[in-house]
Amino acid sequence: MHNLVDLRKICGVYHVTNDSQPAVVLLSGGLDSATVLAMARRDGFTPYALSFDYGQRHRFELEAAARVALAGQVAKHVVLPLDLSVFGGSALTDDIDVPKDRSRDEREEGIPVTYVPARNTVFLSVALGWAEVLGARDLFIGVNAVDYSGYPDCRPEFIEAFSGLANLATRAGVQGESFQVHAPLVTMTKAQIISAGIELGVDYGLTHSCYDPDPGGRSCGRCDACQLRRSGFSLAGLEDPLEYVDQETGEPESG
């Protein structure tokens, strides 16, 4: 497993907060969550970033999350150990090959093996607990139901259902202080997300998307996440700042 000792040393309080409203932002280190973080700040919230060290094979994303949190001027960044590899059941947490070179039709057919069972339900539940402690009533998550890999917990129906749960399962909720789960990317294409992030000043060179990077953290360019990312930048008319691995030579190539 990649060593995260240095990462954890730099996580913590980064900036003095003002009187704006706190919000918990789920921050994976990918381009979607980086965009959502920028949107939360744009909307006047003081973001508290929450990332999970859940035994994922693409743990370079946690280093990306630390970079994005620092650049995004969060009030605090927590990286919470929650080892879902104990259960396995996903190519991201188990000894299962990550699918490569799938066509768009293949990506849109069924639920892929990169789905981590109940991941967003678990993550939002923990975020909800932290939000209640902080006195925050807003949660932000970068799920997307347009350019995505068929995950059931990225759909608007899931966000709506979890919002109802949040107001039934918390002291604040039953006392009339309603929670809101913000999923501003849910109906956007990847190209639209990237364009919106660029307008907000997001540095996508800080992010990481690949499900199966090489030992140096370079993106494979062939998994579903890489293909969606590269297509998004292409359709947005922009160059992806990440470095990919040329599969024939093993040498770096541009995004």
pLDDT tens-digit readout, 191-224: 999 999 999 999 999 999 999 999 889 999 999 9
Cα–Cα distances in Å, from 218 out to 208, 213, 233? 9, 5, 17
Which percentage of the chain shows pLDDT scores above 90?
80
Beta bridge partner(s), residue 253: 244
Token pair in block for residue 111: 């639920």
Q: What is the CATH number of domain 5-188?
A: 3.40.50.620
For the beta sheet containing 21-26, the strands, ordered from the edge strand earlier in sequence to the opposite edge, are: 76-81, 45-53, 21-26, 138-140, 180-182
Q: Give the pLDDT confidence score for residue 247 in this predicted structure.
A: 58
User: Cβ distance 37 to 72 under 8 Å?
Assistant: yes
* Confidence check: pLDDT of 48 > 70: yes
Q: Give the pLDDT confidence score for residue 13 in this predicted structure.
A: 42
Q: Give the tens place of pLDDT for each residue, 119-128.
A: 999 999 999 9
* Confidence check: pLDDT of 60 > 60: yes
Query: How does residue 146 score in pLDDT terms, banded at 50, 70 and 90?
Result: confident
Q: Give the pLDDT confidence score for residue 110 in this predicted structure.
A: 87
Strands (E), 82-188: 138-140, 180-182
Cα–Cα distances in Å, from 38 out to 53, 69, 156, 213? 22, 10, 21, 26
* Confidence check: pLDDT of 2 > 70: no
pTM for the structure as a whole: 0.90
Distance in Å from the first CA to the final CA of the chain:
26
* Confidence check: pLDDT of 9 > 50: no
Contacts of residue 32, defined as CB under 8 A and 6 or more positions apart, other chains included, come to 142, 143, 144, 185, 193
Kindly compute the dihedral angle of the four CA atoms of residues 91, 146, 32, 126, in this order, to the nearest 10 degrees: -70
